[in-house]
Structure formats: C-alpha cells, structure tokens
Amino acid sequence: MDTIPVYLDCDTGIDDALAIAHLLASPRAELLGVGTVSGNSDAAQCARNTLDLLALAGRPDIPVAVGNHDFQAAPYGGGSPHVHGDNGMGGLELPRAPREPETESAAQMLVRLAREHRGRLHVIAVAPLTNLAEALRLEPRLPELVAHVTIMGGAALAPGNLTPAAEANIFHDPEAAADVLAAPWELTLVPLDVTMTEVMEEEHRLRLLNSGKPLPEALGRMLEYYFEFYRGIFGRPCSAMHDPLAAAIALGEVTVTRAPVVRAAVETGHGPARGATVCDLRGIYRGSGDQDGAHCRVVLEAEPGFPDFLVDGLLRAF
C-alpha cells in the first residue's frame, strides 16, 4: 500500500493529540510535518505540545513549525482552557522533548512540502485556517500543488459549537476560512454534522488509560479533562471525535455515506452569523446534492464505529 504524504495544521489540544496519534499509527499516513496556529492554546504552546507528544510516541524526527499567533482580523483571544486546560493538554505535563520548532513558519513549511511532493501532498487542517490562508498568499499556485485538503470545521445543517451559527475553527478566523474555501483546490469539509455523532465513551478512555503504554496512557489522562467539558453537552463523561475523525476521513479509513459536493462560503460579517459556513445544500432533496463546478465535499454522515477503530489502532501501534 502506498502511503499518503501528509502535512497537518493544528492547534494541539486534546482531540488534536488524538489526531496526531492516529496519523502516526495509521499505515496509510506518512506525516511529513506539523504546523501550529493559535486556537485551543497559542501557536507556540501548541508547537511545544506537539513536539512533546511526538517524542512520547517515539517520532521526534517529525518537524514542527510555529505558525500565526494572531488571526487575520483579530488578535488571539486566549484559547479554550475550559475545554483543553491551560496548556492545551488537559493540564497534563508531558516530558519535555529536546527538539525545538523549525526556523521556517508553518505556512513556509506547507509551501515547501507542497513543492517537494507536488501533486501528492494531502493537507489536513484541524484548527483555525490562518496558516493555510497565509500559505495561499505566499504561493498563489498552492491549489495546483497539493492533492487534497481536508478541514475539520464548520457546521452545515448542525448548530455551531462556539456560537449558535459557527464552529470554533471557522469562527476564530472567518476571513482566513473564507479565503481557503474559495481557493480552487479539491476540498473535504468535515463539519460538526458528522463529528458530533462519533462519541468516545468512558470505556474507550479506560482502555487507553489502563494500557500500560506511555502514549495511550497519556491520551487517556488528557481525555478525563475533555470528558468533563462534554458532560455538559451530552450529559455524561464522553467526547466528540472532531479532529481524529477528520484525519481518518482524509486517509480514506472511514466510509462516508453522505457527502455532497457543493459550493461553500464563510460569513465574515460582524453579526450573529459571523463564522457560519454557508453550504449550498438545496440539492439534497433531489438526491446526492452534488453541484456542477463545485469543489467542496461536505461530509454529513459516515458509517458509525469510529471510536472503536481509533482506540484499537492506537493500542496496536503503540
């Protein structure tokens, strides 16, 4: 099986950590580099989280680049400590890796990897899209260079999670998201519509926690903090699987059952709909909903069972 060369753009919090672990565990992925952006924590803290996590996983060779601290139209607002803890890792202090971030920025890393792996690189973005928008400015031909872009973000028919209309990754930098969705690359959007339906339960967390393996055990400890946040949403300790599900969909490891290819845009005004992803789903009543000339595949439904698949893979690999 040929592996898929991957650049990951993230704001390493707890579900980002699961996505990184899954990319390392998957036989389908070759993780070439990671760029960080402010979101769950600031970009520099996210890079430190990523370096420490990669070292714990036995992959300190993978380079990490720090991206933008602030967003296009607003300063970074302080992250989500109530969701991911003050350090993004649920308060868990990982052993500090000796490696430091690269001197190139995250956008520069993305452009370089796209040129080096022309037509093959898959971009997975599970954070605000500030770095991707910056990379488009650095290299306007970037959509011609990459094979595909998969984004965890947005809400098509589901409610938002940061505001009634907007999902967090899109809301933090709507201007960047608008640029990225408008760019002419093949794009898959993995929104809350599907990520909120794949829920990791306490039994999954305990399998990781009690594995006796350093990386899965650390993930299990982080997830305890994350589960407490989601208790207020689901009424029990558990969590949605946003970022790892997007990574698995990008690798073709999850069977997508409903994903029309439509036109999608982002609301950049300053009213109550700021950050909303506006997906033209009017065609769903006649069948697939696909639109001629559109380039954004919006995943609305997928085969269930992803948390089992994720945990089984992590325990086999580590």
Give the active site residue among 122, 172, 204, 242.
242
Q: What is the 3-state secondary structure (H, E, C) of 18-87?
A: HHHHHHHHCCCEEEEEEEECCCCCCHHHHHHHHHHHHHHCCCCCCCEEECCCCCCCCCCCCCCHHHHCCC
Cα–Cα distance between 187 and 299 in angstroms, integer?
A: 11
Do 46 and 11 touch, CB atoms closer than 8 A? yes
To the query of whether residue 292 is one of the catalytic residues in this protein, the response is: no
To the query of whether residue 242 is one of the catalytic residues in this protein, the response is: yes
Do 236 and 205 touch, CB atoms closer than 8 A? no
Q: Looking at the chain, how many residues does it have? A: 318
Q: Which letter, b or e, does each residue of 287-312 get, where b requires 16 or more Cβ atoms within 10 Å of its Cβ? A: eebebeebbbbbbbebeeebbebbbe
Residues assigned a catalytic role: 11, 242
